[in-house]
Structure 1
Amino acid sequence: MDKALVKTNIQIALPSGYYGTTVPHSGLVAKYFRVVGAGVIDADYRGSIGVVLCNFGKERFEVKKGDQTAQLICGQIFYPETEDVQVLDSTERDSGGFGSTGKKTYAQN
């Protein structure tokens, strides 16, 4: 696997309390199996947005100006009230991790 940090020469000013994250452009993944590594852009960052591209394919992959490699998603940061507890309530899943439920998360007809 090859990876590279590609600078976009795009700069943004997010409002305080918001963040941005880079995600793959679906066509890039579907056609070429190239993945964009997640990156978080803080509200006070003013530099060029970088996109981490990972090439899982066998062929060399060249990024040209104007190529759609990633998308920027912005979200609001939520700061919940927290409290320290000795024991958490038990759930059906408990501490089961990735894939532990085996349940489908979409509606079935």
Structure 2
Amino acid sequence: MSGSDGISGDASVWEPTLEVQLKMLDDGIEPPSYAHPGDAGADLRARVDVTLAPGERALVPTGVSIALPFGFVALIHPRSGLATKHGLTVVNAPGTVDAGYRGELAVTLLNTDAAHTLTLRRGDRIAQMVIQRVEHARFVPVEELSESVRGSGGFGSTGGFTAQ
């Protein structure tokens, strides 16, 4: 039985919890879709063929425009299989699609493989889009920040690996 939040104990009955307006700019490209029930990311596809030499990057259009409701953001993430098998990543991961943006979604892809060229074909799944709620902060100027255990420690200050 599904609750009002769209969550069900049965993964095959995953229900959408948000409507997002979608404009397809290319009838030959599949719209964003979730590969499996419960997936967080909807796959985005390449609208054009692209070949990336080692270390090369390219802005790849997806043939999709969306209108997110205010209070939401779409975050564009690399696809884990492409990252693991081919070294393909999203340069500004995650890419940020603001609620007010109405243009075509495009993904800046980078081939991190040092030796192999990667060719992507029109229609290939190239990235995934995760839609999340966002808070809109009011920034309050203060003379001093409240104390915390971490303080100003950052950029590896907690360790986590042993240098050799």
TM-score with structure 2 setting the length: 0.57
> After alignment, is 66-75 or 89-98 more displaced?
89-98
User: Match of 2:104, as an amino acid?
Assistant: S
SS in 1 for 2:58: strand
Is 1:71 the equivalent of 2:128? Answer: yes
Aligned to 2:108: 52
Alignment of 1:13-92 (within 5 A): 13-37=67-91, 38=93, 39-57=95-113, 58-92=115-149
Partner Cα distance (2:138, 2:62) in 1: 37
CA drift of 1:30 comes to 0.7
CA drift of 1:81 comes to 4.1
Please list every run of 5 or more consecutive structure 1 residues that lacks an aligned counterpart in the other structure.
Answer: 104-109
Please list every run of 5 or more consecutive structure 2 residues that lacks an aligned counterpart in the other structure.
Answer: 1-54
Write out the 4+ residue segments of structure 1 that deviate beyond 3 Å after TM superposition. none
Partner Cα distance (2:146, 2:111) in 1: 42
1:12-50 residue CA offsets vs partner (Å, 9 max, x unmatched):
111122111110011011101111123211112222100
Size of the alignment, in residue pairs?
Answer: 104
SS in 2 for 1:27: helix
User: Match of 2:58, as an amino acid?
Assistant: A
Between 1 and 2, higher relative CO (CA 8 Å, sep ≥ 6) is seen in 1
CA RMSD of aligned residues (A): 1.9
For the Cα contact (< 8 Å) 1:93–1:101, is it kept in 2? no
User: Match of 1:40, as an amino acid?
Assistant: T
